[in-house]
Amino acid sequence: MNRQIIIFDTTLRDGEQALSITLNTKKKLRIALALEKLGVDVIELGFPISSPEEFRSVQTIAKQIKNCWVCAIARCIDKDIDVAAEALQVAKNFRIHVFLATSTLHIKSKLKKNFSQIMEMAIHSVKYARKYTDDVEFSCEDAGRTSIDNLCRIVEATINAGARTINIPDTVGYTTPHQFSEIITSLYERVPSIDKAIISVHCHDDLGMAVGNSIAAIQAGARQVEGTLNGIGERAGNTALEEVIMAIKIRQDLLGVYTNIRHKEIYHTSKVVSQLCNVPISPNKAIVGSNAFSHSSGIHQDGILKNRQNYEIIVPESIGRPEVKLHLTSRSGRAALKHYMQLMGYLDDDYDLDILYKMFLKLADKKGQVFDYDLELLIFVSTYGEIPKYFCLKKFNVQYSSIGIITAALELICGNAICADAAVGVTSIHAIYKVLTRITNINTILNKYEFFIKYHDSKIFVKTNIIMEFEGRHFYGTSSAEEVIESCVKAMINIFNDIWRACQIKVKLCKLHKM
């Protein structure tokens, strides 16, 4: 019979302590509620003794969470445990998590003690925490570098003292999957009381092996995995829970375990954590990265169109992610281009694929990624001729005041006329967007903007990528310049030109159909 793997989320504790800013209670609660909806089994809320605000945050969230266990961490100090229990006692179900370093390096250089003293502290603290709850977890900090003899001794002692969960952390991401698996196997072989506790693992990603070590531990018998959403955390981060969860789901044939996770909430929860923690997700991040389900190679795109399983082992919809379209680039083939045309409602007789493909390749080499409105423009140009840009930048000026108001003034060439206007905003991007909306009279939704530093010929350039929404369609603008503001202005103008051209094509095609 398959075993359940308990998912222990420490995004609000181990993840949050690595952020450049401290999350307020409101943001932490939003993340906790998202994790509860995702179906994690245990949420570690924080370290209550660390500050009065942290205590209030843990207490507030503990009171709100009803459908999973909440947990707070404490050192092996009575006062820490008292404060953790006080913060958690408002919860429906709670766990106290005590930790203590067990490696010789930590014991001697950090704690200035010997192993016998560590044993005494661990046993006392587990028993002390049991006064408040029978759900006590003990963590052997730096277990990955602890001698197996000492590790077995302290695990047996803390289980006998009343710990229901024993956590084996690879605190500094030192071990390899084979080595970590051997540690877990040794515990099961050498600790007589091992069946009285759940063995948990908490791995860090310093060598890029956190997920691999966690999976290896599961195969060796571990029943709880600790980590964070998106893998955020100290240094290189923690085990990325979404990766472990999907590995368990996709490779049930190999692992023979399951979780209680609602998989369709993974993508949403990942986005919530990314936005509230202000930690962008790398495009090539497994499971939740923007490129995780994208395909640009012509061979891959052809294979995907014939059967998605050719190059995808996960269905995007299974994690709550909308189906990802193929990226049209110069590496795309005719099959992908034809597929896009069909999605846009065009029949084979509406265009010449050979001519369109040649034009597409030229545009893709120049622009990079090609979008649906670009294809419409190519079809129109191939039949009726070029549609020039309508909006051209003449000059701009952005001024900042001491009271935080930013004024953007722009002058554009709009067809045969020159138009100028100004607007104020709380940021320079906001002000530029407002004044361009006034001048162009095109109402859009500004969805996203991002900046990248580029180096070329010993010069520094700023590349701006912007996404706007107009009448349900997304338009993408990009531009590079030596200054951020200039790059932003030009990227937005590129979008407004694409929207204007798309509208012109729509109008002209409607007139032609009526003839």
Q: Return the higher-pLDDT residue of 405 and 61.
A: 61
| Same domain for 407 and 358 | no
141 torsion bin: left (phi>0), alpha (psi -120 to 50), beta (else)? beta
Q: What is the dihedral of CA 107, 111, 117, 122, to 10 degrees?
A: -90
Average the pLDDT over 281-296 and give the result: 76
Q: How many CB atoms lie within 10 A of CB 116?
A: 8
Structure tokens at 135: 């759900």
pLDDT at 432: 93
| Same domain for 331 and 272 | no
| Same domain for 307 and 273 | no
Distance CA 131, CA 142 (A): 27
What mean pLDDT is reported for the chain? 89
Asked if the structure places residue 289 within a domain, the reply is no
Asked if the structure places residue 348 within a domain, the reply is yes
In what helix (H) or strand (E) does residue 128 lie, and over which residues does it extend?
A: helix 115-129
Q: Answer whether 400's CB lies under 8 Å from 420's CB.
A: no
Total structural domains within the chain: 3
- State how beta strands 224-227 and 459-470 pair: unpaired
- The model's pLDDT over 318-362, given as tens digits with 9 standing for 90+, comes to 888 876 566 777 778 778 788 777 776 677 777 788 888 888 888
Residue 425 has pLDDT above 60, yes or no: yes
Query: Residue length, the chain?
Result: 515
- The model's pLDDT over 64-89, given as tens digits with 9 standing for 90+, comes to 999 999 999 999 999 999 999 999 99
Average the pLDDT over 510-515 and give the result: 51
pLDDT at 300: 59
Parent domain of 432? 391-514
Q: Return the higher-pLDDT residue of 83 and 429.
A: 83
Which CATH number goes with the domain that contains 458? 3.30.160.270
Domain boundary residue, one of 246, 277, 308? 277
Residue 437 has pLDDT above 80, yes or no: yes
- The model's pLDDT over 5-41, given as tens digits with 9 standing for 90+, comes to 999 999 999 999 888 778 999 999 999 999 999 999 9
Asked if the structure places residue 435 within a domain, the reply is yes
Structure tokens at 123: 């046993």
Distance CA 344, CA 336 (A): 13
pLDDT at 515: 47
Q: What is the dihedral of CA 280, 286, 290, 294, to 10 degrees?
A: 160
| Same domain for 119 and 42 | yes
Residue 462 has pLDDT above 90, yes or no: no
Q: How many CB atoms lie within 10 A of CB 175?
A: 23
pLDDT at 361: 86
Residue 74 CB partners (closer than 8 Å, separation 6+): 47, 48, 49, 80, 81, 83, 84, 96, 97, 98, 99, 125, 129
pTM recorded for the entire structure: 0.76
- The model's pLDDT over 99-138, given as tens digits with 9 standing for 90+, comes to 999 999 999 999 999 999 999 999 999 999 999 999 999 9
| Same domain for 366 and 491 | no
| Same domain for 346 and 235 | no
Asked if the structure places residue 409 within a domain, the reply is yes
Domain boundary residue, one of 248, 277, 306? 277
Amino acid type, 61: I
| Same domain for 48 and 164 | yes
Q: What percent of the chain has a predicted confidence (pLDDT) above 90? A: 61
Residue 48 has pLDDT above 90, yes or no: yes
Helices 210-220, 241-250: inter-axial angle, 10-degree rounding: 50
Which CATH number goes with the domain that contains 30? 3.20.20.70
Asked if the structure places residue 284 within a domain, the reply is no
Secondary structure of 31-55 in HEC code, one letter for each residue: HHHHHHHHCCCEEEEECHHHCHHHH
| Same domain for 404 and 506 | yes
Of the candidate ranges 252-266, 353-367, 372-386, the one whose mean pLDDT is the lowest: 372-386
| Same domain for 188 and 54 | yes
Residue 359 CB partners (closer than 8 Å, separation 6+): 378, 381, 382
| Same domain for 70 and 161 | yes
Confidence category of residue 453, pLDDT binned at 50, 70, 90 = confident
Q: Answer whether 345's CB lies under 8 Å from 281's CB.
A: no
User: Which residue, among 490, 497, 506, has the nearest Cα to 475 in the 3D structure?
Assistant: 497
Structure tokens at 335: 């099959």
pLDDT at 5: 98
Amino acid type, 498: D
- The model's pLDDT over 491-505, given as tens digits with 9 standing for 90+, comes to 999 889 888 888 877
Amino acid type, 304: I
Structure tokens at 423: 């607007």
Of the candidate ranges 27-31, 239-243, 432-436, 461-465, the one whose mean pLDDT is the lowest: 461-465
pLDDT at 360: 81
Asked if the structure places residue 291 within a domain, the reply is no
| Same domain for 377 and 324 | yes
Asked if the structure places residue 501 within a domain, the reply is yes
Distance CA 274, CA 448 (A): 14
Q: What is the dihedral of CA 70, 88, 72, 112, to 10 degrees?
A: -160
Average the pLDDT over 243-249 and give the result: 97
Asked if the structure places residue 285 within a domain, the reply is no
Residue 449 has pLDDT above 60, yes or no: yes
| Same domain for 417 and 357 | no
Q: How many CB atoms lie within 10 A of CB 129?
A: 29
